[in-house]
Chain A
């Protein structure tokens, strides 16, 4: 370990450049750099690169339009916000309830439009099973909208004059 400072170590050199090496390692590397021209060149090259990179980053940062960048970020955040419908669906507690409920409502609407809105779907108000009597004629009529049954008879044969009295 006596001649340890003579060995080239690229990783240790990188840590030395970034001031990340320990005191012992830094001391060893300093002694090594006094005797190793290759490592001195490498270190100088790395320092140059580092300085140029910092300079480039600083230049770009100075040119950056932070206001426009902020506006773009805010706009992107707004685009990501849930819509009112997403709020509504989030409010419905469980889909197991909402789906059958929606189906039932839909079925109810279909029934309403088919059975209620369409007059022909209604049953007649009355069904006449039998009709007997000494009358001249009988008609069974049904109103078109509500299917109200009308039983119309002519009792002329059984009529008397008192019907005409006021």
Chain B
């Protein structure tokens, strides 16, 4: 390829990169969603050390004496892009970021169990904040899902 041919090729590649960057910018923010699954029970007094900050206040509200970490999941989603996380007990949590308002992510959460919808909710989650969704019985305790979001 001659020097004359190379210059337009480089310029067009740069323009294409700029266009792609602009297109990705137009697509809106990226949401990093974290889901921490915890089994809380009244059997034993084991608290997973990594859950200590989370359980500090929970212990003053609930009667559970044991908090075990069952899993951590993380999905990165664009606006209106859906992602799902498999949870214990044949449950699946589908998450869809729907926007940003006043430093809060607007999230749509749908929980399924055995392909049956358990609930659907729309929440406004503060940036770098979290919500704890809990209540389903599992084994000898209940499941807690800490859902956090950052954008």
By a beta-carbon cutoff of 8 Å, the part of chain A in contact with chain B is 123-135, 138, 141, 143-146, 148-155, 158-160, 162-166
A125 → chain B closest CB, angstroms: 4
Contact present for A131 and B118 (CB under 8 Å): no
Q: How large is the interface on B (under 10, 10 to 19, 20 to 34, 35 or more residues)?
A: 20 to 34
User: Given A143-B58, A150-B131, A155-B113, does the pair A163, B118 have CB atoms closer than 8 Å?
Assistant: no
User: Given A146-B57, A158-B113, does the pair A151, B133 have CB atoms closer than 8 Å?
Assistant: yes
By a beta-carbon cutoff of 8 Å, the part of chain B in contact with chain A is 57-58, 60-61, 89-90, 104, 106, 111, 113-114, 116-126, 129-139
* Residue numbers in B under 8 Å from A134 (CB-CB): 117-118
Contact present for A154 and B135 (CB under 8 Å): yes
Who on chain B is nearest to A145 by CB? B57
Contact present for A126 and B119 (CB under 8 Å): no
* Residue numbers in A under 8 Å from B125 (CB-CB): 125-126
B11 → chain A closest CB, angstroms: 48
* Residue numbers in A under 8 Å from B129 (CB-CB): 125-126
A121 → chain B closest CB, angstroms: 14
B30 → chain A closest CB, angstroms: 20
A123 → chain B closest CB, angstroms: 6
Chain B binding surface, main DSSP class: strand
Option from B90, B118, B123 in Cβ contact (under 8 Å) with A126: B123
Complex Cα–Cα for A162 and B91 (A): 11
* Residue numbers in A under 8 Å from B132 (CB-CB): 148-151
Who on chain A is nearest to B117 by CB? A133
User: Given A149-B131, A150-B131, A160-B114, does the pair A129, B124 have CB atoms closer than 8 Å?
Assistant: yes
Contact present for A166 and B139 (CB under 8 Å): yes
* Residue numbers in A under 8 Å from B57 (CB-CB): 143-146, 148
The 8 closest A-B pairs by CB, nearest first: A133-B119, A126-B131, A125-B129, A143-B57, A127-B124, A129-B122, A153-B135, A131-B121
Contact present for B134 and A131 (CB under 8 Å): no
Complex Cα–Cα for A56 and B9 (A): 110
Contact present for B120 and A163 (CB under 8 Å): no
* Residue numbers in A under 8 Å from B120 (CB-CB): 130-133
29 contacts between A and B (CB under 8 A): A123-B126, A124-B126, A125-B131, A126-B130, A126-B131, A129-B122, A129-B124, A130-B120, A131-B120, A132-B120, A133-B111, A138-B119, A143-B60, A144-B60, A148-B57, A148-B130, A150-B61, A150-B133, A150-B134, A151-B123, A153-B133, A153-B134, A155-B113, A155-B118, A155-B119, A163-B139, A164-B139, A165-B139, A166-B139
* Residue numbers in A under 8 Å from B61 (CB-CB): 141, 143, 150
